[in-house]
Amino acid sequence: GIISLISLAVLSYERCCTMTRTAEPDTTNYRKAWTGIILSWTYSLLWTVPPLLGWSSYGPEGAGITCSVNWHSKDANNTSYIICLFIFCLVIPFAIIVYSYGKLLCAVRQVSSMPRGPGRGREQRVLLMVMVMVLCFLLCWLPYAAVALLATFGQPGLITPAASIIPAILAKSSTVYNPIIYVFMNKQVSEML
């Protein structure tokens, strides 16, 4: 789950950098792609290894089908990890996504403010694509984060195993949606199909 969140943030930042750059991108140099992959996995490992070393713990999630952080323990060790996880693995990636897509939209608006007709349509398509991607990110991860925070800070037994299944599935499926959105809302890609 964390690698998918971080990957979405890295992809949004990379997409912003690529589309706002004035020079033609070098498609033969994969250094930036490998750097992004390595940084994503390293950052994710930094946040998934601590429970193995004693900062919080892992255990069955929901109906016992999947494994996740122990959201139900109320001790300070576990609570501090969950707060840090929430900030560094949800809030910060979301802020990067909003910043990147916001910057991209500003760049598209500047280009489309020039007196040409087709620029306006492109701006609207990019705006719609960005809004759908951010909305999907929120729809996938906010229910999971809310359930996790309620399980951690709410009354014991407040979140039943059955109630946690759908948010967990939504969160774990989030990496599927961005490529689908990009393919179907990007005019160049959809014309090739």
pLDDT reading at 17 higher than 60:
yes
39: pLDDT confidence band, cut at 50, 70 and 90?
very high
> What's the mean per-residue pLDDT of the chain?
79
Statement: residue 103 has pLDDT above 70:
yes
- Residue 42 pLDDT exceeds 90: yes
Who contacts 129 (Cβ-Cβ below 8 Å, separation ≥6)? Answer: 181, 182, 185, 186
- The tokens of 46 are what? 């930094």
For 125-136, what is each residue's pLDDT tens digit? 766 777 787 788
Instruction: For each of the domains in the chain, give its residue range(s) and CATH number, in order of start.
Output: 1-191 (1.20.1070.10)
pLDDT for the residue 69? 84
What is the pLDDT at residue 128?
A: 75
For residue range 45-84, what is the model confidence (pLDDT) as tens digits? 999 999 999 999 988 776 677 778 887 778 899 889 989 9
- Residue 178 neighbours by CB under 8 Å, 6+ apart: 8, 11, 133, 136
Write down the pLDDT at residue 124. Answer: 66
Among the ranges given (10-14, 90-94, 113-117), the one the predictor scored with the smallest mean pLDDT: 113-117
DSSP H stretches of helix in 49-186: 76-86, 92-112, 118-153, 165-172, 174-185
